[in-house]
Chains A and B, each alone.
Chain A
Amino acid sequence: MDTVTIRIKRYNPDTDKSPYWQEFEVALDNEKTVLDALEEIKAEQDGSLSFRRSCRHAICGSCAMMINRKNGLVCTKSLTEASQETGLFDKKNTVTIEALPYLPIIKDLVADQSVFWQQYEAVRPWVIAPDDIPEKEFRMSQEEVDAMHGAETCIMCGACYSSCPVIAGNKAYIGPHALLKMFLRVMDPRDTEIEARLDQIATDNGAFRCHKVTNCIGACPKGLNPAQAISTLGKMALRSNRLTEERKERLKTLIAQIEASTVE
Chain B
Amino acid sequence: MSGQTIIHDVVIVGAGLAGSWAAMVAAREGVKNIGVLSKVHPLRSHSGAAQGGIAAALGNVRPIANSTAEDALEQVPTGAEPSDSPELHLFDTIKGSDWLGDQDKIDVLVHDAIDVIYEYEHMGCVFSRTPDGRINQRRFGGHSAPRANFAADWTGHVLLHTIHEQCLKHGVRFYSEWQLLELIIEDGVTRGVVAMDIITGEIQTLRAKAVLFATGGYGRAWKITSNATANTGDGVAIAYNAGAPLMDMEFVQFHPTGVYRHGILMSEACRGEGGYLLNAKGERFMENYAPSKMELAPRDLVSRSEQTEINEGRGVGDDKQGIYLDLRHLGKEKIMSRLPQVREIAMNFLGVDIINEPAKIQPTAHYSMGGIPTDVNGRVLANENEDIIKGFYAAGECACVSVHGANRLGTNSLLEASVFGRRAGYEIARFIKGGATLHPLNRTGANEKQEKRITKLMERHTNDRTVSLKHINDTLKQTMTDKVGIYRSEATLEEALTIVHELREQFKHVRVTDTSKRFNTDVLGAIEAENILTFSEVVVKSALARRESRGAHARTDYPTRNDEAWLKHTIAMQTTDGSPYLTYKSVNINWEKYPPQVRQY
Contact = CB atoms under 8 A, between A and B. Distances in A.
Instruction: Report if A and B associate in a common complex.
Output: yes
Interface of A: 12-15, 31, 42-44, 46-48, 50-62, 76, 78, 106-108, 110, 113, 117, 121, 124-127, 129, 133, 135-142, 144-145, 148-149, 152-153, 155-156, 185, 188, 190-191
B470 A44 contact: yes
Contact of A127 (B124, B229, B519): B124
The majority secondary structure among interface residues of chain A is loop
A125 B348 contact: no
A60 B38 CA distance: 14
B157 A59 contact: yes
Interface string B128-160: 110111111000000000000001101001100
A126 B168 contact: yes
Nearest to B348: A76
B165 A126 contact: yes
A188 B158 CA distance: 14
Interface stretch (B40-48, B93-101, B401-409): B40-48
B168 A107 contact: no
B49 A60 contact: yes
Contacts of A127: 123-124, 162, 165
B124 A107 contact: no
A54 B16 CA distance: 13
Given A57-B345, A142-B129, 16 more contacts: A14-B516, A14-B518, A15-B516, A50-B519, A52-B40, A54-B230, A55-B228, A56-B229, A78-B348, A106-B519, A117-B41, A126-B165, A127-B123, A127-B162, A129-B123, A136-B58
A54 B127 contact: no
Interface string B38-68: 0011011110110000000010000000000
Nearest to A187: B126
Contacts of B157: 59, 153, 155
A42 B162 CA distance: 35
A137 B228 contact: no
B525 to A, nearest CB: 8
Contacts of B136: 142
B539 to A, nearest CB: 22
26 contacts: A15-B516, A42-B521, A43-B473, A46-B513, A47-B513, A48-B522, A50-B520, A53-B229, A55-B48, A57-B348, A60-B44, A108-B519, A117-B176, A126-B123, A127-B162, A136-B118, A137-B127, A139-B132, A140-B129, A141-B133, A144-B129, A145-B129, A152-B161, A155-B43, A188-B124, A190-B124
Interface residues of B, number: 65
Given A48-B513, A54-B44, A137-B121, A59 B133 contact: no
Contacts of B265: 57
Contact of B129 (A57, A59, A133, A141): A141
Contact of A126 (B166, B261, B341): B166
A145 B128 contact: yes
B564 to A, nearest CB: 43
B516 to A, nearest CB: 6
Given A140-B133, A152-B158, A14 B165 contact: no
**Which of B43, B124, B152, B522 gathers the greatest number of chain A CB atoms within 10 Å?**
B124
B199 interface: yes
B158 A60 contact: no
Given A59-B154, A59-B157, A126-B168, A50 B514 contact: yes
B110 to A, nearest CB: 17
A48 B230 contact: no
A191 B514 CA distance: 48
B116 interface: no
Contacts of A56: 228-229, 262, 264
B585 interface: no
A138 B46 contact: no
B328 interface: no
A23 B594 CA distance: 63
Nearest to B174: A117
Contacts of B40: 52, 54, 60, 62
Contacts of B41: 62, 113, 117
A12 B519 CA distance: 9
B39 to A, nearest CB: 9
B170 to A, nearest CB: 9
A55 B154 CA distance: 14
B589 interface: no
A125 B124 CA distance: 10
The 9 A-B pairs with the shortest beta carbon distances in the complex, nearest first, are A127-B124, A47-B513, A139-B133, A48-B514, A126-B165, A47-B522, A43-B470, A107-B519, A54-B228
Contacts of B169: 124, 126
Nearest to A125: B165
B228 A60 contact: yes
Interface string B69-102: 0000000000000000000000000000000000
B514 to A, nearest CB: 4
Contacts of B543: none
A101 B152 CA distance: 33
A62 B129 contact: no
A60 B227 CA distance: 12
A139 B131 CA distance: 10
B114 to A, nearest CB: 9
A137 B349 CA distance: 37
Contacts of B515: 48
B519 A59 contact: no
Contact of A138 (B43, B121, B228, B514): B121
A60 B515 CA distance: 28
Contacts of B173: none
B521 A129 contact: no
B517 interface: yes
Nearest to A57: B264
A113 B21 CA distance: 25
B438 interface: no
B582 interface: no
Interface in B329-374: 341, 344-345, 348-349
Contacts of A135: 118
B43 A156 contact: yes
B261 A31 contact: yes
B593 interface: no
Given A140-B129, A156-B43, A133 B122 contact: yes
B512 interface: yes
A240 B4 CA distance: 50
B469 interface: yes
A138 B519 contact: no
B585 to A, nearest CB: 34
A127 B121 CA distance: 10
Nearest to B51: A59
